[in-house]
């Protein structure tokens, strides 16, 4: 794609930072430029798997539209390139005004790519502490929260969640996910096709529950074409069959589980006959899946975004766990297991103080929505800016996020961004969100970063450890993102004159915390034994060495260190997942309450949905092979137009007199948008589908390719008022829409 100016001077291993698959790639470098990307066949985890996005990283990194120098908005409202000194002079002057009041009038939104970077994992906390803000948002609350909350209540940790042991299961029940396109989520398993083929080859069964016959559903043994938002009823009916036919053996259920009988009694009334109508499926399919699941040697149910961003998200994700538990598939090979992340995490470190539920420790100002895992629901970002009164968010820092396209009611989000008194974005594009910033700070080239998936290691389907060292150094005019976060932290506290290195309190804090978990070591010893490194690499070394495979700073010779990973460019394999109960639990009493009161209290809401009329169309979201949420459309040419089309089955199209290629208006209770229609019988009647992350329209951006095929913004249609009640997640899937000729 890019002609090399000379023979590639250097090649190196890189873990792809784009999606949760974490494929091992090989970068060919010509000086500082990536000139080729190929899959790494020797990577111990991905074994040569990759996709068009990973291979596209050269085009993504070399995109001429990218921001490479700080941009400052001038008096006429236009952006101009400025020096870092100038950019930071403005930030030093303006930012302190929004700092230090409770709960903090400077909000922070950190987006999806930040979840793949060590910089944010280790340094965002420094910035948040300096800002003194509780107005912290991320896409987690428009992505995984219902799953996080369900598992927090069951297992005590919002991140240490169960993952399907896909390589050893005999029965894989997937709800609300299309891993052949998304490459999987909360299931880090590069090479999805190969893994699903292997499942079939060993005689296993794949069941996909999805209103759309997706690519994954297409290869499934059973496709349950469910009506959106009814998964909880479907799962209750599976459990009802299992309970009434006594298809479980109490001795399979781990001793640490309480209230199994209560749950099995509660589910019985939800018979297949009762739910078949609302779910829009045959009762016979429910009986079949229930009996097969229960009879399998190893079965696992796995749920993702289609089950999270819907009306009954937390209930559904709880019931998925209940199904795994009562059929004896929790914490056993081929079932739902816990990974053992090499860098450690909340459910690997020894318990030093009584665990505290990371939920509802504070609430949002306007609507009193509960905090989860240290953040507020991003669905209330706009109202926190737009609603007057003390504590109003008047400033915003975005880091690697595009809330103007990712959050519900994006028109309100954009209106809010315009109301801000000050906004800083750390981002590589001038896009739908960053166009409202006062200052945009660009991240450095990807190849300057070290990469280890500290977060995604919690979701790995196999215990592996890998690290990609930086391939090129930072040069003058480039800052690592962790340095930018520290520099912003310095500005927030009026100490912009301090050298960045002096601001780095993270290493000492992590050293103290990790020393406390490793017998026989001290903070000083941790600091001296990692002193040759700095920034995220030093903290990563601390985490790996104090982690489950670590050298314990010398006490466990031969144990894992960052140096060992640097010497193992293709990674180290610690084998398949191992049972971890009961030590993995971080609930207050160290046990699993299968019937958390908070979730049980939401059951009447579900029960009352059974009698609801089901006429009309509901809209669901989908992903596309070459996109990554909103941000690859400029760099990666999309293969054909109409990618963004509204898909509708022929029966619904005929009833409305619509044909493929028609421009149509899609109207929700929030607003109306126009798009192209594609008739596609992969959709069940009554359901239409559209991708998110499009709608590259409006002025002031610097994304010419994306703007030339702008597509339609799904999230304009999504309501930010009616939310999933337990988590405040938006109801993205299953929203009521009307479709007519434009
Ligand atoms: N190519 C590509 N890959 C990606 C991304 C991308 O944008 N592009 N994004 C990445 C990110 S950030 C994430 S979080 C993951 C998400 O990964 P997935 O969770 O696999 O997400 P989707 O591919 O959107 O699949 C969601 C499916 O849920 C179905 N669905 C909608 N409503 C319902 C419902 O009520 N019930 C059920 N059972 N199903 C429903 C939809 O039809 C859709 O097929 O993908 C990641 N990978
Ligand atoms: N309707 C609907 N809405 C959804 C979803 C859905 O399925 N349907 N999915 C939701 C999900 S799962 C997610 S994760 C969110 C995504 O929500 P966001 O994270 O807000 O959106 P992205 O499109 O991933 O935006 C990434 C931003 O990071 C920038 N960026 C890329 N690389 C870097 C980097 O290295 N450093 C920095 N500083 N910036 C970088 C890009 O330019 C872009 O501005 O969207 C959510 N919204
Ligand atoms: S599947 Fe995900 S991790 Fe693998 S190459 Fe594609 S984008 Fe990168
Ligand atoms: Mo996501």
Residue-wise pLDDT for 659-694, tens only, equals: 999 999 999 999 999 999 999 999 999 999 999 999
Question: Rounded to whole angstroms, how far apart are CA atoms 534 and 38?
Answer: 30
> Smallest Cα–Cα separation from 456: which of 197, 216, 190, 208?
190
Burial class (CB in 10 A: 0-12, 13-18, 19+), 557: exposed
Question: Rounded to whole angstroms, how far apart are CA atoms 378 and 141?
Answer: 6
**C-alpha of residue 183 to centroid of ligand 3, in Å:** 7
Q: How confident is the model at residue 3 (pLDDT cuts 50, 70, 90)?
A: very low
Residue located nearest, by CA, to atom 32 of ligand 1: 306
At 105-126, the pLDDT tens digits run 999 999 999 999 999 999 999 9
For 522, the token pair is 């001290």
SS (H, E, C) 641-676: CCCCCEEECHHHHHHCCCCCCCEEEEECCCCEEEEE
Q: What is the mean pLDDT of residues 286-296?
A: 98
**C-alpha of residue 381 to centroid of ligand 4, in Å:** 18
35-49, 301-315, 344-358, 616-630: which has the minimum mean pLDDT? 344-358
pLDDT higher than threshold 70 for residue 6: no
183 CB less than 6 Å from ligand 3? yes
At 133-185, the pLDDT tens digits run 999 999 999 999 999 999 999 999 988 899 999 999 999 999 999 999 999 99
**Within 10 Å of residue 588's Cβ, how many Cβ atoms?**
12
Question: Rounded to whole angstroms, how far apart are CA atoms 530 and 524?
Answer: 10
Q: What is the mean pLDDT of residues 412-428?
A: 98
The Cα-based distances of 159 to 67, 147, 347, 369 in angstroms read 33, 10, 8, 21
402 near 433, Cβ under 8 Å?
yes
18 CB less than 6 Å from ligand 3? yes
> Smallest Cα–Cα separation from 157: which of 365, 349, 292?
349
pLDDT higher than threshold 70 for residue 467: yes
316 CB less than 6 Å from ligand 1? no
Q: Which residues neighbour 255 within 8 Å (Cβ) at sequence distance 6 or greater? A: none
Q: What is the mean pLDDT of residues 209-238?
A: 98
Question: Rounded to whole angstroms, how far apart are CA atoms 36 and 56?
Answer: 9
Residue located nearest, by CA, to atom 34 of ligand 2: 400
At 545-565, the pLDDT tens digits run 999 999 999 999 999 999 999
Q: Could you give the percent of the chain with pLDDT greater than 90?
A: 92
Annotate 48-113 with DSSP letters as a single string: T---HHHHTHHHHHH-TTS--S-EEE-TTS-EEE--HHHHHHHHHHHGGGGSSSSS-SEEEEE-GG
Burial class (CB in 10 A: 0-12, 13-18, 19+), 527: middle
629 CB less than 6 Å from ligand 3? no
696 CB less than 6 Å from ligand 1? no
Question: Rounded to whole angstroms, how far apart are CA atoms 306 and 291?
Answer: 24
SS3 label, residue 730: strand
Q: Which residues neighbour 696 within 8 Å (Cβ) at sequence distance 6 or greater? A: 431, 432, 633, 634, 703, 706, 707, 709, 710, 711
168 near 174, Cβ under 8 Å?
no
At 592-641, the pLDDT tens digits run 999 999 999 999 999 999 999 888 999 999 999 889 999 999 999 876 66
Residue located nearest, by CA, to atom 39 of ligand 1: 176
For 94, the token pair is 């303006």
pLDDT of residue 501: 78
For 537, the token pair is 């690499």
Q: Which atom of ligand 3 is nearest to the CA of 19?
A: 2
**C-alpha of residue 73 to centroid of ligand 4, in Å:** 30
Q: Which atom of ligand 1 is nearest to the CA of 177?
A: 20
**C-alpha of residue 182 to centroid of ligand 1, in Å:** 6
306 CB less than 6 Å from ligand 1? yes
pLDDT higher than threshold 60 for residue 2: no
Q: How confident is the model at residue 356 (pLDDT cuts 50, 70, 90)?
A: confident
SS3 label, residue 147: helix
pLDDT of residue 174: 98
> Smallest Cα–Cα separation from 431: which of 419, 414, 456, 448?
414
542 vs 350, higher pLDDT = 542
Q: Which of 428, 474, 483 to mutate to test the pocket of ligand 2 (most atoms within 8 A of CB)?
A: 428
pLDDT of residue 4: 37
- pTM of the model as a whole: 0.97
Q: Which residues neighbour 474 within 8 Å (Cβ) at sequence distance 6 or greater? A: 444, 448, 480
Residue located nearest, by CA, to atom 2 of ligand 1: 182
At 304-340, the pLDDT tens digits run 999 999 999 999 999 999 999 999 999 999 999 999 9
> Smallest Cα–Cα separation from 465: which of 331, 340, 336, 554?
340
**C-alpha of residue 23 to centroid of ligand 3, in Å:** 5
> Smallest Cα–Cα separation from 410: which of 733, 729, 719, 727?
719
Question: Rounded to whole angstroms, how far apart are CA atoms 291 and 71?
Answer: 60
**C-alpha of residue 231 to centroid of ligand 4, in Å:** 20
Strand 24-30, strand 33-39: pairing: antiparallel
Annotate 23-58 with DSSP letters as a single string: -EEEEEEETTEEEEEEE-TT-TTTTT---HHHHTHH
């Amino acid at each position: 794609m890019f002609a090399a100016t000379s023979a590639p001077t250097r090649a190196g291993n890189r873990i792809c930072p784009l999606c949760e698959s974490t494929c091992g790639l090989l970068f060919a470098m010509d000086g500082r430029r990536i000139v080729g990307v190929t899959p790494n066949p020797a990577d111990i985890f991905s074994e040569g798997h990759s996709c068009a996005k990973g291979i596209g990283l050269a085009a993504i990194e070399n995109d001429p539209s990218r921001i490479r120098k700080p941009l400052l908005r001038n008096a006429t409202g236009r952006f101009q390139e400025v020096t870092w000194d100038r950019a930071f002079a403005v930030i030093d002057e303006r930012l302190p005004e929004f700092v230090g009041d409770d709960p903090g009038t400077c909000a922070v939104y950190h987006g999806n790519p930040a979840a793949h970077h060590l910089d944010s994992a280790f340094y965002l906390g420094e910035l948040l502490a300096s800002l003194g803000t509780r107005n912290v948002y991320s896409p987690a609350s428009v992505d995984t929260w219902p799953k996080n909350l369900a598992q927090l209540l069951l297992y005590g940790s919002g991140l240490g969640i169960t993952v399907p042991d896909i390589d050893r299961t005999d029965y894989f029940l997937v709800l609300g996910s299309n891993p052949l396109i998304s490459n999987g989520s909360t299931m880090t398993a590069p090479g999805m096709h190969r893994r699903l083929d292997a499942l079939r080859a060993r005689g296993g069964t794949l069941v996909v529950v999805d209103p759309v016959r997706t690519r994954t559903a297409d290869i499934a043994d059973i496709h349950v074409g469910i009506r959106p938002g009814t998964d909880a009823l479907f799962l209750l009916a599976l459990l009802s069959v299992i309970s009434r036919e006594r298809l479980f053996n109490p001795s399979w259920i781990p001793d640490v589980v309480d209230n199994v009988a209560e749950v099995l009694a509660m589910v019985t009334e939800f018979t297949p006959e009762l739910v078949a109508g609302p779910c829009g499926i045959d009762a016979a399919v429910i009986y079949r899946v229930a009996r097969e699941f229960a009879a399998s040697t190893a079965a696992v149910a796995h749920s993702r975004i289609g089950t999270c961003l819907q009306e009954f998200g937390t209930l559904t994700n709880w019931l998925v766990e209940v199904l795994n538990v009562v059929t004896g598939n929790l914490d056993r090979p081929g079932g739902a297991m816990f990974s053992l992340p090499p860098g450690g995490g909340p459910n690997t470190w020894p318990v030093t103080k009584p665990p505290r539920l990371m939920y509802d420790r504070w609430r949002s100002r306007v609507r009193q929505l509960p905090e989860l895992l240290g953040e507020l629901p991003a669905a209330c970002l706009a109202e926190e800016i737009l609603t007057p009164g003390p504590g109003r968010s008047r400033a915003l820092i975005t880091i690697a996020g595009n809330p103007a396209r990712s959050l519900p009611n994006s028109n309100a989000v954009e209106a809010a961004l315009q109301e801000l008194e000050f906004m800083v974005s750390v981002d590589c594009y001038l896009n739908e969100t960053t166009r409202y910033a006062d200052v945009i700070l660009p991240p450095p080239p990807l190849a300057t970063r070290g990469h280890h998936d500290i977060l995604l290691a919690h979701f790995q389907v196999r215990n592996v450890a890998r690290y990609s060292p930086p391939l090129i150094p930072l040069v003058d005019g480039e800052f690592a993102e962790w340095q930018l976060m520290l520099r912003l932290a310095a500005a927030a506290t009026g100490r912009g004159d301090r050298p960045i290195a002096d601001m780095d309190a993270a290493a000492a804090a992590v050293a103290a915390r990790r020393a406390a978990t490793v017998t026989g070591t001290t903070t000083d010893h941790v600091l001296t034994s990692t002193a040759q490194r700095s920034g995220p690499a030093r903290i990563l070394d601390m985490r790996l060495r104090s982690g489950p495979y670590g050298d314990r700073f010398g006490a466990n010779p031969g144990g894992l260190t960052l140096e060992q990973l640097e010497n193992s460019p293709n990674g180290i394999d610690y084998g398949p997942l191992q049972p971890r109960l009961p030590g993995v639990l971080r609930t207050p009493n160290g046990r699993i309450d299968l019937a958390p009161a908070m979730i049980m209290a939401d059951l009447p809401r579900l029960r009352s949905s059974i009698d609801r009329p089901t006429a009309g169309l509901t809209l669901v979201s989908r992903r596309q092979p070459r996109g990554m949420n909103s941000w690859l459309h400029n760099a990666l040419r999309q293969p054909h137009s109409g990618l963004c089309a509204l898909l509708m089955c022929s029966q619904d199209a005929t009833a409305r007199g619509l044909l493929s290629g028609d421009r149509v208006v899609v109207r929700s209770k929030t607003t109306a948008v126009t798009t192209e229609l594609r008739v596609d019988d992969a959709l069940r009647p009554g359901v239409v589908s559209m991708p998110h992350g499009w709608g590259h329209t409006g002025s002031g951006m610097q994304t010419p390719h994306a703007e030339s095929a702008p597509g339609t913004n799904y999230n304009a249609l999504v309501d930010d008022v009616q939310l999933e009640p337990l988590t405040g997640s938006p109801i993205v899937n299953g929203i009521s829409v009307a479709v007519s000729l434009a």
